[in-house]
Structure 1
Amino acid sequence: MTILQTHHTTRSTSAGPRAAGLSPWLAGLWSVAYLGLAVLHLLRDTGAPWVPTEASVLGSLSSPDVSVLIVALGALGLVGLALRSRSPRLAGSLLVATGLVTALVLADARSLTFLGYLPMLLLGLVGVGPMDEVATDRLVPALASVGESVGGLALVLTGVAALRATTDRPGWPVATAARVCRWAVAVAIAVPAFYASTRLAWALGIPFGVREEFLVELGDGKLAGLGLALAALVGCVLTAGLVMRWGEVFWSWLPVIGGRPVPVRLALLPSVFVGAVVFSAGLAFWRLMWTGQITDIPGNEADWAAWVPELFWPLWGVALAVAGLAYAARRVGER
């Protein structure tokens, strides 16, 4: 056996555990569950796995229309999973393509709504806070969208693992990965910081980018905006960790894990997941711009701060995912 063959065999074997991890199970679970729900909705008019909303690239479609799409995506996901051992390259390509459509197009802004409003939604379920009357109505469709985001990401990761098992191409050089990570982190911090500054100003009664009448009409919605702003700022801090020492080694004062290396996947997976969620939410705002429906959201054209920051979300999503990938490439390359 040649050195190249030995290297290829070792690489394929080491990729096996990754491909046989949690991602294929989540991908299979999503494909079976959502395909089944979509078929039942089409045949027996049961509850739809997807509810029409303007906060989606597919907002102009009906639930039956999207159910047909879900059936196709679920079937493609199952075919890709079944072909992994026989034709890993074909299976990997099919799974990545299916996963990207699922995570970026089928999933929508409700995934981001769930992540941003989660603390308030949980309080609303017990009748506390400004969302006590709408928490349940928002929770179910948002959870369905989160399931699409998770399922799509699982399909992509499973497909990438299958493709990696068929190639010996080296990863990014450490220096290149570090440089890319710094630039991507800068963008992934600037965009949510801009968004957060508008919502913080509103919470303080400052009409930044909006009319004073808009703040009055917003009422308790300013508190929800404050919650989203704080969540965005927390995300900025965590994103900065991708280029900071504490993003590689846990702080020494932390119990049990203090001083230990930060697992690469602990930073990589949230970066890619949140990046996908933010990207799909941003696409929804671009759809509203394209169709002239942007004024349907609270406020009007004069209240530019209500919708302009969201137009940068696709850039934020791409930057965050790239930052996570570059961080992982740098960490792995330094070992």
Structure 2
Amino acid sequence: MPIHLSLGDTERPVPRWALQLAKALPFILLPHCLWRLPFAFDFSMGTVDPSAPSMQWWAPAYVFGLSVLTEALALLCTGLVSGWGEKVPDWVPLIGSRRVAPLAAIIPATLGGLGLIALWDPMPLAWFGLLGFHEVAFSNGWWMLLARVCISPVMLWGPIVLALTYAYYRRRRAV
């Protein structure tokens, strides 16, 4: 039995912007995930931190797992614009074919979006050393520029999740 997880197969039409944003989200987060991977091999990517502890034996698995988890959560957001976010796919044991209660998606997505904003959006404060936030030091400006270019898109994650959640709410609310 083939598994179909197509986007846009919803009871009501999904706004085009939401569909495009959901499809783009894993690619928006990809530079951040790729930036993180060299750290798994104890390559510092130009960071200078004399107090940094030596690499633990489990660090490579942790770093790879974090990147995979980030991309998996980004892909999970496609449920907010697809039919499997409204009705559990038939192949899921015990709960397959059941309708998803809108709040079962809206509440976790809203909390997740707000948590991502709290986690990532203060980053510019660290860049400028404001309000007690500090950025790790870099060996030169090129490493710092590369880090900021790769990491900055993650600041969009929380607002994108909240926008997709709002579109989901508008589509699923009672008429």
Q: 1:211 to 1:223 in 2, by over 3 A?
A: farther
Say whether 1:260 aligns with 2:98.
yes
> 1:299 touches 1:306 (CA, 8 Å); kept in 2?
no
In the aligned structure 2, how far is the partner of 1:227 from the partner of 1:276? Answer: 23
Q: Which residue of 1 aligns with 2:74?
A: 236
Q: 2:136 aligns with which of 297, 307, 321?
A: 297
In the aligned structure 1, how far is the partner of 2:42 from the partner of 2:22? Answer: 29
Count of residues in correspondence between the two structures: 157
The runs of 5 or more residues in structure 1 that have no matched partner are: 1-173
CA deviation after TM superposition for structure 1 residue 201, in Å? 4.6
Q: Which residue of 2 aligns with 1:325?
A: 166
CA deviation after TM superposition for structure 1 residue 238, in Å? 0.6
Q: Which residue of 2 aligns with 1:280?
A: 118
CA deviation after TM superposition for structure 1 residue 327, in Å? 1.4
Q: 1:193 aligns with which of 11, 30, 43?
A: 30
CA deviation after TM superposition for structure 1 residue 299, in Å? 4.6
In the aligned structure 2, how far is the partner of 1:297 from the partner of 1:212? Answer: 7
Q: Cα RMSD between the aligned structures?
A: 3.5
Say whether 1:219 aligns with 2:55.
yes
Q: Which residue of 2 aligns with 1:180?
A: 17
If asked which structure has higher relative contact order (CA below 8 Å, sep 6+), I would say: 2
Give the secondary-structure state (helix, strand or coil) at the position aligned to 2:15: helix
Question: Which entry has the higher C-alpha Rg, 1 or 2?
Answer: 1
Give the secondary-structure state (helix, strand or coil) at the position aligned to 1:242: helix
The one-letter code matched in structure 1 to 2:32 is Y
Q: 1:305 to 1:245 in 2, by over 3 A?
A: farther
In the aligned structure 1, how far is the partner of 2:127 from the partner of 2:88? Answer: 43
In the aligned structure 2, how far is the partner of 1:237 from the partner of 1:319? Answer: 13
Q: 1:295 to 1:212 in 2, by over 3 A?
A: closer
Q: Which residue of 1 aligns with 2:5?
A: none
CA deviation after TM superposition for structure 1 residue 179, in Å? 2.0
Q: 1:258 to 1:307 in 2, by over 3 A?
A: same
CA deviation after TM superposition for structure 1 residue 230, in Å? 2.2
Q: 1:232 to 1:222 in 2, by over 3 A?
A: same
Say whether 1:210 aligns with 2:48.
no
CA deviation after TM superposition for structure 1 residue 232, in Å? 0.4
Give the secondary-structure state (helix, strand or coil) at the position aligned to 1:323: helix
Instruction: Answer 1 or 2: which has greater helix percent.
Output: 1
Q: Note the 1:109-188 alignment, pairs <5 A.
A: 175=13, 177-188=14-25
TM-score (norm 2): 0.69
- Deviation per CA, 1:248-289: give whole Å up to 9, x if none: 221212222111112212221222111111112223211011
The runs of 5 or more residues in structure 2 that have no matched partner are: 1-11
Give the secondary-structure state (helix, strand or coil) at the position aligned to 2:98: coil
The one-letter code matched in structure 2 to 1:272 is T
In the aligned structure 2, how far is the partner of 1:319 from the partner of 1:330? Answer: 16
CA deviation after TM superposition for structure 1 residue 217, in Å? 7.5
Q: 2:152 aligns with which of 311, 314, 330?
A: 311
The one-letter code matched in structure 1 to 2:15 is A
In the aligned structure 1, how far is the partner of 2:98 from the partner of 2:161? Answer: 24
CA deviation after TM superposition for structure 1 residue 219, in Å? 2.2
The one-letter code matched in structure 1 to 2:45 is V
- Deviation per CA, 1:49-72: give whole Å up to 9, x if none: xxxxxxxxxxxxxxxxxxxxxxxx
